[in-house]
Every structure is written in C-alpha cells, then in structure tokens.
A and B are shown apart, each in its own frame.
Chain A
C-alpha cells in the first residue's frame, strides 16, 4: 500500500534488476534513498540555522526566500538546543523535476531568554520554542522556507489571561 514501506522491504531483500519485480524494487529502493537524502539535507540545514549566527551563514552559502514568521527567537536565546521531532519528505519524481522536493519538519528548541523577544524583556530563564518548517528544494538547493513557531511559555500565559 505504501511506497515507503515497500522501499524498506526492497532494501531488506536482495534485488534482481533482471526481473520486473526487481526493477520495481530497485525503483522503490532509490526513491527511499532520495526521500531520506532530502529529509537529511533539510534537518541538517535547520540544525545549522540554530547554531549561533547560523541563519546568516546558511543564507551566505546559498540564499533562499524566508517566508512565514520572522525567526526573531534566534537572536533572543542563548545556549540553544535543537531537536527534530518529526519530518516528512516529498520529492518530485518527474525527470524535469529532478532535485525538487518539499520537506516539512516539526522541531523543538530550548534556550535561555537572554535578549528581548517580540517585545518581551529577557527573563534569563530557559524557554521552549516549538515550530514547523516547510522547506522547498529546487535543483537540489533550498529555494524557500516557511517558518511557524511559538514560545510555549508565552502562548500559555496569553491563553490563560
């Protein structure tokens, strides 16, 4: 039923490319690798973005459009720890669409609130940021990235008041 489950099965068994089944298995095996490659590229990129000065460095390597919300938390937090909670990778398989994909990543970042963040004065306390990125690739490079995030503690306080 699932391409990706087939791909794992194909990877687990020996593939004989001289048979129809083998060719199909090979296709799914390659697809699985492409899916993993894009997911790894996007999550590694996000990991680097969350290092000190990381966003500027990433944009210097290969510029891309930043869409959605401004990532103002990057400048406001110190000692940030970044964790990927989940990612999906959807590559385009057409020959003309080689290198085109969308990767969506759910993540959590923790850090010390050391500088003003969206009008909130620094508290010196550890805060948790949760968010999601929608990263598009063209020609195997990041073309655009939507970012949506919130500070869990701030949102909770706003909802409760």
Chain B
C-alpha cells in the first residue's frame, strides 16, 4: 500500500473527496492527456516507477459507492456552489485519511433549517478503507470499500442560526 501512497497525488485525493460529496470532477487529467498523445512522461511518477522497479501507472484506485459509516454528509442536500478542498492527507496500509473543507451557499434546507442564503464552511475528516486486488493486466486495483466521515455539525448549525 505504501507504493500506492507514494504515487497518490493531491489530484487523486481531491477527486475522491468530490466523489464522496456527489460532485464528481469531470474532464481529463494532465496524465490522461499525456497518455493519449503518447508523450513520454518525465514526471515524478516515471522517475518513481524506475526507482521502485515497477510501473506505478499499473496501479489504479477507485472510489465508487463505498459503505458509509460515522456521520451522514447531511449538509450536501442544502449547499449550492460548493467548493471542496483537502487540508491534508495521510496514507498507510489500505487506508487514506483526508481532512477536508467544504464551502457553499445555504440554498436548500439543511437538517430542517430553511435556506438562509449564507455562505457556510464545513470542516471534517474522512477515513477511506481500500481493498487491493490484482488485475488481469498484471497491475493492482485499489477499491474503496468503506469510509468514515466526521464533520463539525455544531459549527454549521451556528452559521445557519440554528440550535441543536
């Protein structure tokens, strides 16, 4: 898993946080465009692959409908114009932990509180658990099976003028 962690870039973890928030990032990454154009990659991934003795490009990770635990992401239904960012990331055996921040407009009801139109910030942390499976092509596929999310509910309620 460490090799997976070493190759994990901020873009990948940002994609996952967006996926968990029902707001998938669309479009191609620079790497995908380079692959399509057949350009020889000289970026850090290629250097790392050479250093580690195997092709890191053969490692893929997917986050698709993992089983949720912890707090439901109840703010999702109420926020519009969301901006999602990662504050930090830690990776180890089969686990990736992301601290995240979501900024958005309170445009729809959240936990029974009618929309206020205020811009609010939600900070939280999520723990993603991955299973590792070999692929027929000789690579490795890391599938996110479960995630645990905890976020600052009292701070959100305070921002939208509600009490528990």
- Do chains A and B interact in one complex? yes
Could you tell me which A residues sit within 8 Å of B by CB distance?
Answer: 1-5, 68-69, 86, 88-90, 102, 104, 106, 118-120, 130-132, 134, 146, 148-150, 154-155, 158-159, 161
Contact present for A134 and B150 (CB under 8 Å) = no
Taking the closest CB of chain B, its distance from the CB of A130, in whole angstroms, is 6
The residues of B that contact A2 with a CB separation of less than 8 Å are 1-3, 93
Cα distance A5–B92 in the bound complex, in angstroms: 11
How many pairs, one residue from A and one from B, have CB atoms within 8 Å of each other in the complex?
A: 86
B68 contacts partner chain A, Cβ-Cβ < 8 Å: no
Contacts known (A69-B155, A86-B127, A104-B127); A150 close to B92, Cβ less than 8 A: no
Nearest A residue (CB) for B54 = A1
B78 beta carbon closer than 8 Å to chain A: no
What 6 new A-B contacts, CB under 8 Å, besides A4-B2, A130-B150?
A: A1-B132, A86-B127, A88-B90, A134-B90, A148-B123, A150-B70
- Cβ–Cβ contact A89 & B92, under 8 A: yes
Q: State whether A119 touches B92 (Cβ < 8 A).
A: no
Provide the residues of chain B in CB contact with A89, threshold 8 Å: 92
Roughly how many angstroms separate A118 CA and B70 CA in the complex, as a whole number? Answer: 19
Measured CB to CB, the nearest residue on chain B to A103 is B90
